[in-house]
Chain A
Amino acid sequence: MSVPAGEPIIELAGISKTFGDRDGRVVAVDKVGLRIGRGEFVTLVGPSGCGKSTLFNIAAGLADPDPGGEIRFAGTRRAGRDLLGKVSFMPQRDLLLPWRRVIDNAILALEVEGMRRADARRKAGAMLPEFGLAGFERHYPHQLSGGMRQRVALIRTFLFERDLMLLDEPFGALDALTRTMMQRWLLDVWQRHRRSILFITHDIEEAIFLGDRVVVMTARPGRIKLDVPVALPRPRPAHVATSAEFLRIKTKLLDAIEEESMKSFMAAGA
């Protein structure tokens, strides 16, 4: 699936999602427009419960948006369901299958695609050292730490090679040091493979450090509040976090997010 240069890999226009029936309607996402260029790394931040995950499910083809919106994927207009199997999706929880060894969890998507098990294992086996899992291929998930489980889930996502990857707080459960390592590593992989990434995070510094653009969502109903380009040159060294540009963006984002968090806090209290 190759996309002509300049064409966005995915473009959402006027996407809304309403849950519930007449008795209680909740608008989770309200007329969201979002465009991710080919090879672009977009990070998405917002207060909890702002509909980020709903938006993700729509972009992965797992949930249908309300009628009226439009999804264009690789230049073609698509119904939500058409996206199943076209987008590499990683949910917050690792969702490893306890009866499968590390290597067999890693190849789950390849197996679903119909690749021979031996070939898939060889392919995944070669990636284990890069993910810090060398020597663990025959372990079961319950024998691993939370960070290692998350890395197995990441291999599983990466082996499902699609032009668009949706990552929902993939590093949220990792300790600070591992997290930094994984961020650098992710940027490295992204730069080599030029996949487009939409990345949800709660961590503003992570959002700036990783993204070409940081998108801020409002409190429920979720709308796009801000779309800030990050004009920091790549590769970005660790100390980029102390640069003036970084701090300028961070201030802007913090203000926006605080305003939204306050809103959702007040709404919850009312």
Chain B
Amino acid sequence: MAGRVLALQVGTIAACLVLWEALARGLGGPTAVMPPVSAVLLDVAANHQVLLRGVLRTLTETVLGFAAGAAFGFLAGAAFAESRLLERLLLPLLVVSQTVPVIAFGALVVIWFGNGILSKMVIAFYLTFFPVTVNTLRGLLSVDRQRIDLMRSFGASPWCLFWRLRLPFALPAIMASLLLGVSLSLVGAIVGEWFGDTVGLGIMLVQAMYAENLPRLWSVVMACGVLGAGLYGILAAVERRFVWWGREL
């Protein structure tokens, strides 16, 4: 059964690719507007070393920015859950920070942090930490009174309460924000490269655009898609395996 579904899924994708090829050729339009998929794949093959370097660079930026954003978001959310005062003082600032579109200060970030990996990390971080903060806070506060009371009746310390009850209770919500965050981190890394860099998928997109190299543009778009799907897939697998109890709470 699972095998048949997989076969159908692969078949559907293959059919889409064939349709793409047929439309691009059959419509007879200039291939400069919509290159056939074969041209894109040929470009990927011819260009695979540069493409791979770009993928690795963008992957590094995404993962580092995501990790920093997830860690900061978790700590901020946990701190807010512990202290209402801290939440009232700082959460509004974080909310305001998110109302500024990242594009607006991308140039600033590059000037401050240089046009290396660090500035892209910062942008990925900026996009990731907020959803993680909010979901960590919400998750930690959503534990019902009776469960907390039961643990207290066992003589549990606040620390023990956090590790044995609150945190596992919040994990499904935190995990949902990580899935969102990893996609945002990739966007952040790609956009960050637009403000100045020499390696990476983002800068390759810009170069292909200026060169009006459509097969190249599509091959980089595909690489971005594969990277995004891969990162999301890994986290989704982690969720299914280790944080499966969201529906049981």
- Residues of A at under 8 Å CB distance from B? 57, 60-62, 84-89, 91, 93, 95, 97-99, 108-109, 111-113, 141-142, 160
Residue among A95, A99, A160 with the highest chain B CB neighbour number at 10 A: A99
Q: A95 vs B149: C-alpha distance in the bound complex, in angstroms?
A: 10
How far does the Cβ of B241 sit from chain A's closest Cβ, in whole Å? 12
Question: Interface SS of chain A: helix, strand, loop or mixed?
Answer: loop
How far does the Cβ of B171 sit from chain A's closest Cβ, in whole Å? 8
Determine if B150 and A89 form an interchain contact, defined as CB atoms under 8 angstroms apart.
yes
Residues of B within 8 A of A98 (CB): 245, 248-249
Contacts A93-B146, A111-B164, A112-B164; is A99 near B153 (CB within 8 Å)?
no
B57-79 CB mask vs A (1 if < 8 Å, else 0) is 00000000000000000000000
In this complex, how many residues of chain B approach chain A with their Cβ under 8 Å: the count is: 18
Instruction: Give the contacting residue for A62; candidates B152, B156, B164, B171; CB below 8 A.
Output: B152
Residue among B152, B153, B164 with the highest chain A CB neighbour number at 10 A: B153
Determine if A62 and B154 form an interchain contact, defined as CB atoms under 8 angstroms apart.
no
Taking the complex as formed, is B228 at the interface, i.e. its CB lies under 8 A from any CB of chain A?
A: no
The 8 lowest CB-CB distance pairs between A and B, nearest first, are A85-B155, A98-B248, A89-B153, A98-B245, A112-B154, A109-B154, A112-B156, A99-B245
Determine if A91 and B164 form an interchain contact, defined as CB atoms under 8 angstroms apart.
no
Determine if B245 and A85 form an interchain contact, defined as CB atoms under 8 angstroms apart.
no
How far does the Cβ of A50 sit from chain B's closest Cβ, in whole Å? 19
Residues of A within 8 A of B165 (CB): 97
Contacts A108-B164, A111-B164, A112-B154; is A142 near B248 (CB within 8 Å)?
yes
Q: Which residue in chain B gives the minimum CB-CB distance to A111?
A: B164
B141-168 CB mask vs A (1 if < 8 Å, else 0) is 0000011011111111000100011001
B114-154 CB mask vs A (1 if < 8 Å, else 0) is 00000000000000000000000000000000110111111
How far does the Cβ of B238 sit from chain A's closest Cβ, in whole Å? 15
| 25 pairs of residues in contact across A and B, judged by CB atoms under 8 Å | A60-B149, A60-B153, A61-B152, A61-B153, A62-B152, A62-B153, A84-B152, A84-B153, A85-B154, A87-B153, A88-B153, A91-B146, A91-B150, A93-B146, A95-B147, A97-B147, A97-B168, A98-B248, A98-B249, A108-B151, A108-B154, A111-B164, A112-B151, A141-B248, A160-B154
Q: A95 vs B160: C-alpha distance in the bound complex, in angstroms?
A: 17
Residues of A within 8 A of B153 (CB): 60-62, 84-85, 87-89
Q: Which residue in chain A gives the minimum CB-CB distance to B150?
A: A95
Q: A89 vs B147: C-alpha distance in the bound complex, in angstroms?
A: 12
How far does the Cβ of A145 sit from chain B's closest Cβ, in whole Å? 15
Determine if B160 and A112 form an interchain contact, defined as CB atoms under 8 angstroms apart.
yes
- The total of Cβ contacts below 8 Å across the A-B interface reads 51
Contacts A97-B165, A97-B168; is A62 near B149 (CB within 8 Å)?
yes
Residues of A within 8 A of B249 (CB): 98
Q: Which residue in chain B gives the minimum CB-CB distance to A85?
A: B155
How far does the Cβ of A120 sit from chain B's closest Cβ, in whole Å? 13
Residues of A within 8 A of B150 (CB): 89, 91, 95
Q: A111 vs B146: C-alpha distance in the bound complex, in angstroms?
A: 19
How far does the Cβ of A174 sit from chain B's closest Cβ, in whole Å? 20
Q: Which residue in chain A gives the minimum CB-CB distance to B156?
A: A112
Determine if A113 and B154 form an interchain contact, defined as CB atoms under 8 angstroms apart.
yes
Determine if B149 and A57 form an interchain contact, defined as CB atoms under 8 angstroms apart.
yes
Q: A93 vs B156: C-alpha distance in the bound complex, in angstroms?
A: 19
How far does the Cβ of A154 sit from chain B's closest Cβ, in whole Å? 13
Residues of B within 8 A of A57 (CB): 149
Residues of B within 8 A of A97 (CB): 147, 165, 168
Q: A57 vs B156: C-alpha distance in the bound complex, in angstroms?
A: 16
B74-108 CB mask vs A (1 if < 8 Å, else 0) is 00000000000000000000000000000000000
Q: A108 vs B245: C-alpha distance in the bound complex, in angstroms?
A: 18
How far does the Cβ of B159 sit from chain A's closest Cβ, in whole Å? 11
Residues of B within 8 A of A108 (CB): 151, 154, 164
Q: A60 vs B154: C-alpha distance in the bound complex, in angstroms?
A: 10
Chain B, 164-197, CB within 8 A of any chain A CB: 164-165, 168, 171
Residues of B within 8 A of A160 (CB): 154
Q: A166 vs B156: C-alpha distance in the bound complex, in angstroms?
A: 18
